[in-house]
Structure formats: structure tokens, C-alpha cells
A and B are shown apart, each in its own frame.
Chain A
Amino acid sequence: MKNLIEVQNIKKNYGKKEAVKGISFNVEEDEILGLLGPNGSGKTTTIGMLLGLLKPTSGQIFINNLKLEENRIQILEKINFISPYIELPKKLTVKQNLYVYSKLYKVRNIKERIEYLSEKLRIGELLNSITGELSSGQKNRVSLAKALVNEPKVLLLDEPTASLDPEVGDFVRSFLEDYKKEKKISILLASHNMNEVTRLCKSVLMMKNGEIIDQGKPEDLIAKHGRTNLEEVFLKLSRSNSEFN
């Protein structure tokens, strides 16, 4: 399988603070890789570097065999991101937002693309609604539609189902599974929901204090650490030398 994301020994320092301490990993085509770790472990910094929003202090990132530093625009055309901490302009309608972002990503056949995503994500009835007036679940699906508007080869998800009720959360997870299978895309999923990670991810990286402290398939990690589920593995690894221990 082809690696769509290749991260080679990236470091990020903020002054004297080492936020990410030389991590390397790959994400294959048609794979969802889980990025786990306690708050402040370096997950968001890593995602920021993959999106070109942060410049690594050292190391290299390749997306679809292109070096990010030298091909930022070309790479951003085929990558997208969702986080509950970023939103779409609230005063615009859903359709206007999707249209604007289709233009920014130079999407061809915008009408068909919006229709396709509306149907898949069940937001057809919301297209003329004001984005700021939507419920959390509706906003989440609209953000997902925006993230897929450019048919990304690589999707970065930061807590994609945070604050969603179980039904909408399940819908989003099922959608992501199906979409990944259908389009053979790579997904990097940062999440604190261990059930979600177990269900979606082929393998996971466990980060702590800017380092990868363990990695592997969820079932292998559970067996290796003698636990019954991934949450227990997470707690075991994150509590070693933790301020909460």
C-alpha cells in the first residue's frame, strides 16, 4: 500500500519548550490512523504541522509523495481538516459556505459536488439555513461536508465527534468508514473517544510529552498491556509519571 502521509523525525519547539520531540510515522492509503494522547501531548501541534499551519523546527513531512515545505499549495488542494474548535462563517447559509469553499478549492462541478455531499451527509434540508443557527450535530455534518468538498486524499480529524449525541456520533463514524472505503483516502484521527478509535482505526499512535510512547493495532496494544480495552491502555500509558497519578 502507498503511504499518503510520511512524517520523518519532526520536532517542534516553542522557545525552550519541546512540543514535539522528533516523531516519525506513516499513514497508508485506505487507512485510518488514530493519534492518541493526553492533553498537551503534541497531537494538535502534529496536526498543525501536517496542515502547514506550523513550521517544524526540524524534520520533514511528505503528503502524497510531495514535500510539504516546497509544495504547500499543491498539497492543501488534496487535504482537509475538521475540528470542533474551528467553524464556518455563522452568518452565511450552509449553501453559501459550501459554495465559497468549493471556490477556494477550485472544485469543478460545484453544484453536483454539493448535491452529492448533501445527500450523503443528510444536509439537503439545511442548505438554505443560516450556519450559526444550526445545532451542534448539524454544524458537525456541515463542517464534514466542507472538509470533503475538495475530495481530499488525506483527511485530518481532530475530535470529530466531540459534543455529538450518540446517534449523530454513530452516523458520522459510519459515514467516515464508508467514505474511506469508497475513496481509498487516508485519515489521521485525533480522538479521546477510545470506542471510536477502536472501531475506526487500523492502528494507533500513543503520544505523551511530545513523543510516541507506543504504537500498533488496537487489539495488539490491548493484549500487549494486558488490558481489556483501549481506554485502559490509554489510562495505563498516560498515568505513568502523570500529575494525576
Chain B
Amino acid sequence: MSLTRIYGLFLRHFYLITRSFPRVLDLVYWPSIQITLWGFISNFFATHTTYYNNAVGVILTCAILYDFLFRTSIGFNMLFLEEIWSRNFTNLFIAPMRIGEILTSLVITALIRSLIGLVPAILLTSPLFGISILDLGIFLFFLFLSLYIFGITLGILVSSGLLRFGPSFENIAWSTMFLLAPFGCIYYPIETLPEIFQKIAYVLPLVYIFEEARNILINQTVNIENVYYAFMWNAFYFSLSIALFYYSFNAAKNKGTLINMGE
């Protein structure tokens, strides 16, 4: 065993981390987010033990919805990352493709990838747990659509970061969903959050989607306002993500990231 070589290899990774802000950020926020999310979940169940009594499967339904969002977002990022990993990135950007064509193609592919994962999950919940996500009725379509748009939006935002900062932004790509999870109120009502976090949650479409899913399953009623607000915020963030992608593309052309996609 050579301590020099061990130290040498350590340095290789240490230098990489310290040269990249996204990597440092990733190290810092990951544990904080996990603790925050599970802290809120534990808090909620400690004080509201009877909340889910009349609706077995609410948690499972929310888990499936969240997983769909997660897979859509990660799926979109994966498509972009795969081009970087396979060193095909430059080939793609010298092809006569408009940014809109690239995005549309990735959006469609991400949907297909997500559905491939979603359909078996839905089919499994019924025989295994006697629960059907289809209990959400026609509004299930709107909730899925809303989640899909937000997943794609996050994917485009992260891809913008990859374009601007290069592959060091990759870690952010993996953990965006976890960063938003505490504010999304996936497993608990928004009242569980401290007031300042509630203000953040209200400007995200997620809280409206998951509140509405719980509302339908527990109260057997539909609050169309939740669906409306989810789409409104989605439209805002989606437009913002597209604008940011174009901005990042131009910034990458100035900075040289498109021909220099390394680590």
C-alpha cells in the first residue's frame, strides 16, 4: 500500500470537487434536504395519527404520482446526460436542429420513458395492496399532465445548467427533485410546514397537485382551484425554463462549453 498513491488519487477527486461549485452545493444540500423532508413527515404523523384512517392508499397514490414526476424529470436529464457521456454532444449541436426541435424530441422521449415505468407500477398496486390510483377518476389525467409538465420543466432547467456549467452540474440533475420534495407536500398537508416554507410551497405547482390528490381520495370532493393554480404555476415555470434554456445555449456559445464538454 502506497500512501502517496492513495493521497494522489484522493487529490484527483478533491481538486475536482473544489473546482466546481455545483459539486460543493450537492454535497452540502443533500443531507439537509433529507433531514428536512423526513423531519416534516415524522412531525406530521406524530401529531395527526388518524388523518389517513379513511383513505388507505393515499400515501401509495402520492408515492406513484411523485415517482412519475421524478422519472419524467430524471428521464429528461438522462437523455441530455447520455449525449455528454457518449461524447456525442458536439455531433448533436452541429446537426441542423433548432433548439425547439431538440427540446420537443426530448420531451416526447421523456414521456415514453416515464410511461414505461408508470404503467407496471399502477398495475402492481391493485393486486398487491388492493389500491387503484384510478380512484382519482378523470382528474387523475389533469394531475398527471400537471406533474409531467413540471417534471419536464425541471428537466429543461437542469439541462440549461448542464449547457451553461458543463457536466459538473450533473449532480444537481440527480437531486433537483429531492430539493423540492419538502416544499411539494407530497406526503403531508401544507399546514405541516413552517410559515416561511409554506410561502415557498405556494409558488410551486406541486403543493396544489398533491393537496388535490389527497382531497379527492380523503374528502371525495374536487377543488378545481387546485388544478387551475397548478397549471398556472406550471405555465409560468415552463416559459421560464424555455427562456433560460435559450439563454444558456447562447451563453454556452460564448463560453465554449458546447465544444468543451469534459468533466
Please report A residues at the B interface, Cβ cutoff 8 Å: 14, 44-45, 48, 51-55, 72-77, 79-81, 83, 85-91, 101, 104-106, 146
Given A88-B88, A89-B86, A146-B91, CB of A105 within 8 Å of CB of B96: yes
Instruction: State in angstroms the CA–CA spacing of A66 and B123 once bound together.
Output: 56
Whether A45 and B87, one on each chain, are in contact in the complex, defined by CB atoms closer than 8 angstroms, is no
Instruction: State in angstroms the CA–CA spacing of A77 and B254 once bound together.
Output: 22
Whether B254 and A55, one on each chain, are in contact in the complex, defined by CB atoms closer than 8 angstroms, is yes
Given A48-B259, A101-B91, A101-B95, CB of A53 within 8 Å of CB of B253: yes
Question: CB of B90 within 8 A of chain A?
Answer: yes
Q: Which residue of A lies closest to B251 (CB)?
A: A55
Given A44-B259, A53-B259, CB of A85 within 8 Å of CB of B87: yes
Residues of A within 8 A of B82 (CB): 89
Whether A53 and B86, one on each chain, are in contact in the complex, defined by CB atoms closer than 8 angstroms, is no
Instruction: State in angstroms the CA–CA spacing of A106 and B95 once bound together.
Output: 10
Selected A-B contacts with CB under 8 Å, 11 pairs? A14-B256, A48-B259, A51-B94, A54-B256, A54-B259, A55-B253, A55-B254, A76-B96, A86-B87, A104-B95, A105-B95
Contact of A80 among B86, B94, B256 (CB under 8 A): B94
Whether A86 and B96, one on each chain, are in contact in the complex, defined by CB atoms closer than 8 angstroms, is no
Query: Apart from A86-B89, A105-B95, what 19 extra A-B contacts exist at CB < 8 Å?
Result: A51-B94, A52-B94, A53-B94, A53-B258, A54-B254, A54-B259, A55-B250, A55-B253, A72-B96, A74-B96, A76-B94, A77-B96, A80-B94, A83-B90, A87-B86, A88-B88, A89-B83, A104-B92, A104-B96
Instruction: State in angstroms the CA–CA spacing of A51 and B96 once bound together.
Output: 10
Instruction: State in angstroms the CA–CA spacing of A88 and B253 once bound together.
Output: 22
The 8 A CB mask of B84-118 against A (1 = contact, 0 = none) is 00111111111111100000000000000000000
Residues of B within 8 A of A54 (CB): 253-254, 256, 258-259
Q: Which residue of A lies closest to B97 (CB)?
A: A104
Whether B90 and A53, one on each chain, are in contact in the complex, defined by CB atoms closer than 8 angstroms, is yes
Decide if the interface of chain B is mainly helix, strand, loop or mixed.
Answer: helix
Q: Which residue of B lies closest to A103 (CB)?
A: B95
Question: CB of B255 within 8 A of chain A?
Answer: yes
Instruction: State in angstroms the CA–CA spacing of A74 and B96 once bound together.
Output: 7
| Most B CB within 10 A of own CB, among A14, A53, A81 | A53
Residues of A within 8 A of B253 (CB): 52-55
Tell me how many residues of B have a C-beta within 8 Å of chain A.
Answer: 22
Min CB gap A223→B, angstroms: 36
Min CB gap A51→B, angstroms: 5
Given A52-B94, A73-B96, A77-B96, CB of A87 within 8 Å of CB of B256: no
The 8 A CB mask of B230-263 against A (1 = contact, 0 = none) is 0000000000000000000010011110110000
Residues of B within 8 A of A76 (CB): 94-96
Whether A86 and B98, one on each chain, are in contact in the complex, defined by CB atoms closer than 8 angstroms, is no
Contact of A88 among B91, B94, B97, B255 (CB under 8 A): B91
Min CB gap B95→A, angstroms: 4
Residues of B within 8 A of A89 (CB): 82-83, 86, 88
Instruction: State in angstroms the CA–CA spacing of A146 and B95 once bound together.
Output: 11
Residues of B within 8 A of A55 (CB): 250, 253-254
Residues of B within 8 A of A90 (CB): 86
Residues of A within 8 A of B87 (CB): 85-87
Instruction: State in angstroms the CA–CA spacing of A72 and B93 once bound together.
Output: 11
Residues of A within 8 A of B254 (CB): 54-55
Instruction: State in angstroms the CA–CA spacing of A80 and B90 once bound together.
Output: 11
Instruction: State in angstroms the CA–CA spacing of A54 and B82 once bound together.
Output: 22
Whether B256 and A86, one on each chain, are in contact in the complex, defined by CB atoms closer than 8 angstroms, is no
Whether B256 and A45, one on each chain, are in contact in the complex, defined by CB atoms closer than 8 angstroms, is yes
Instruction: State in angstroms the CA–CA spacing of A80 and B88 once bound together.
Output: 14
Residues of A within 8 A of B250 (CB): 55
Instruction: State in angstroms the CA–CA spacing of A79 and B93 once bound together.
Output: 12
Residues of B within 8 A of A146 (CB): 91
| Most A CB within 10 A of own CB, among B87, B97, B255, B258 | B87
Residues of B within 8 A of A88 (CB): 86, 88, 91
Interchain residue pairs A-B with the least CB separation, the first 4? A76-B96, A104-B95, A87-B87, A53-B258
